[in-house]
């Protein structure tokens, strides 16, 4: 059980494919584990091209095939205040990691992690952007996200259990 509320922000470039998918998957796992009151999730993009847009229809379809509804999410661009507010900032690839580290500076750089750092199944370091590919890319991305989010949540539970017992 997690006693201190945790706030997690998922980041990709446009906030219409990978990061809203990660937000949706993460929230579903939290709900399934009855942790949705203790851990918050949001998503944003490093670029503002799609601000206000719903996730890509292909991302919505792939998520819905797994019982996850991301249709109500809307793209937004990350803002400086996010770095202060969120406890952990999870990025999908090295380019966005670099952008976020630049924005975060020394004060908040320690909060930034690649999602696949939490994966035990995938040896890749980046969740590929499926935007320019076919439908199969969205399924692969969801496989990566689901497994990594399961591991991330377990990491948060284990971390908080260790620190609560100290």
Collapse the DSSP code of 88 into the 3-class scheme (helix H, G, I; strand E, B; otherwise coil) and give the result: strand
CA distances, 15 to each of 50, 57, 76, 133 (Å): 7, 13, 7, 16
59 contacts 136 by C-beta, under 8 angstroms: no
Is residue 129 annotated as part of the catalytic site, yes or no?
A: yes
161 contacts 154 by C-beta, under 8 angstroms: no
Is residue 18 annotated as part of the catalytic site, yes or no?
A: yes
* Active-site pick, 12, 27, 58, 99: 12
User: What interhelical angle do 18-32 and 135-164 show, nearest 10?
Assistant: 50
Q: Quick one: which of 126, 138, 118, 123 has its CA closest to 93?
A: 126
Both structure tokens of 95: 């380019």
* Active-site pick, 17, 18, 76, 99: 18
Is residue 149 annotated as part of the catalytic site, yes or no?
A: no
* Active-site pick, 42, 56, 93, 129: 129
Both structure tokens of 77: 């661009």
The set of catalytic residues is 12, 18, 129
């Amino acid at each position: 059980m997690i006693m201190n509320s945790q706030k997690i922000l998922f980041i990709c470039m446009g906030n219409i494919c990978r990061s809203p998918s990660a937000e949706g998957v993460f929230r579903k796992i939290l709900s399934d584990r009855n942790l949705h009151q203790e851990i918050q999730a949001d998503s944003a993009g490093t670029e503002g091209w799609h601000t206000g847009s719903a996730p890509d229809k292909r991302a919505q379809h792939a998520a819905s095939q797994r019982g996850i509804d991301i249709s109500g999410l809307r793209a937004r661009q990350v803002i400086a205040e996010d770095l202060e507010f969120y406890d952990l900032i999870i990025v999908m690839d090295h380019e966005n990691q670099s952008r976020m580290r630049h924005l975060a500076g020394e004060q908040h750089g320690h909060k930034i992690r690649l999602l696949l750092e939490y994966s035990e199944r995938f040896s890749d370091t980046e969740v590929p952007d499926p935007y320019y590919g076919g439908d199969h890319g969205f399924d692969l991305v969801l496989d990566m996200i689901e497994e990594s989010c399961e591991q991330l949540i377990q990491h948060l539970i284990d971390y908080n259990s260790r620190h609560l017992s100290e």
